Structures are given as structure tokens and as C-alpha cells.
Amino acid sequence: MSELGKGLAGELTASGHLLRQRVYFEDTDFTGIVYHARYLHFLERGRTDFLRLVGIHHAEIDGGLHGEKLAWVVRRMTIDFVSPARIDEILAISTRVEEISGARIVMAQQVHCGERLLIEARVEAAIVNGEGRPRRLPKDWIARFPSAVQTKITHP
């Protein structure tokens, strides 16, 4: 599977992660450009694959790897729609960790098409259990992030 998945999950960078994705039919709307809500899908794919490459998998945490069913939830999001993308274009989704505390993670994300900046976003996420109650990030996760990320940890 790791062989099959090669290239599908993007790549780790010094300060985070980079993922390339294509704009397909499903992403566009009748005005000819990408529908604004679809960028949240692209951003979420970027965050998911960043976590995947540091060893944190949705299926595993949902399956109870940490003692109970856990899941990520987005708490807050600020998003600037700077420039539009169109069908067939290739988007580069970059993700950096801005802050990790005991119970939440803040990520800064950008979407580019070539040199052109399309999206600038700040996403605050947290971990909750099956009943939606907030949980602290599992301790061993912290050590998995790139060292540039380690310096962002405020309340380990």
C-alpha cells in the first residue's frame, strides 16, 4: 500500500507539507471558476495528508487506537479568497503548523496555482471523542512533527 500510495500524499517540507491536486468538473460552478466551498476540501486534504505523513491516520484514531474513538473537528477558520482557479488547473496546497497546545492545533495554509496565490487560510482544529467532548492531543503525536514545528508547541 505504501508503494501504491507513493506520491498520493504529497511531501513533508521544512516547516510543514505540500500537496498537489487537480481541479475537476466537480470543483467548479456555473460562473466558470472553482466553487468557494470546494477550497475547504482541498485544504482538508492537505491537512489530512500532512498528518498521514507524520503517522497520524483518521481510520486509526476513529478505530480507538488511543483508547477511545477520536476525531478531528475544525473549530475556527478564516479564509481569504484571493484569486480564482479554473477547470484542469493544478493546485499546490501548503500547510504549516502555527501553534500546537495541549488541546488544539492551528495551521496556516495557502493554495497556489503556479506563482499565483489563490487562498490564504488559518484553521484551528481540535480532537474530540465519540460524544464530541474535547480531548488532549495524544502526547506521542508532538514528537512526530518536523523540528521546525516543535518550536510552535506552547503547552506540551
Q: Does 24 bind its own copies (CB under 8 A)?
A: yes
CB environment 81-119: b (16+ within 10 A), e (fewer) = eeebbeeebebbbbbbbbebeeebbbbbbbbbbeeeebb
Site mask for its own copies (CB under 8 A), range 44-83, x = bound: xx--xx--x----xxx--x--------x-xxxxxxxxx--
- DSSP 8-class letter at 25: G
The yes-or-no answer on residue 29 being catalytic is yes
What residues from 80 to 109 belong to the interface with its own copies (CB under 8 A)? 80-81, 84, 86-88, 90, 92
Q: Does 116 bind its own copies (CB under 8 A)?
A: no
State the DSSP H helix or E strand holding residue 134, giving kind and residue range, or none if neither.
strand 134-135
Q: How far is it, in rounded angstroms, from Cα 119 to Cα 108?
A: 11
Residues that bind its own copies (CB under 8 A): 1, 4-5, 7-9, 20-22, 24-26, 28-33, 35-38, 40-41, 44-45, 48-49, 52, 57-59, 62, 71, 73-81, 84, 86-88, 90, 92, 114, 130, 132
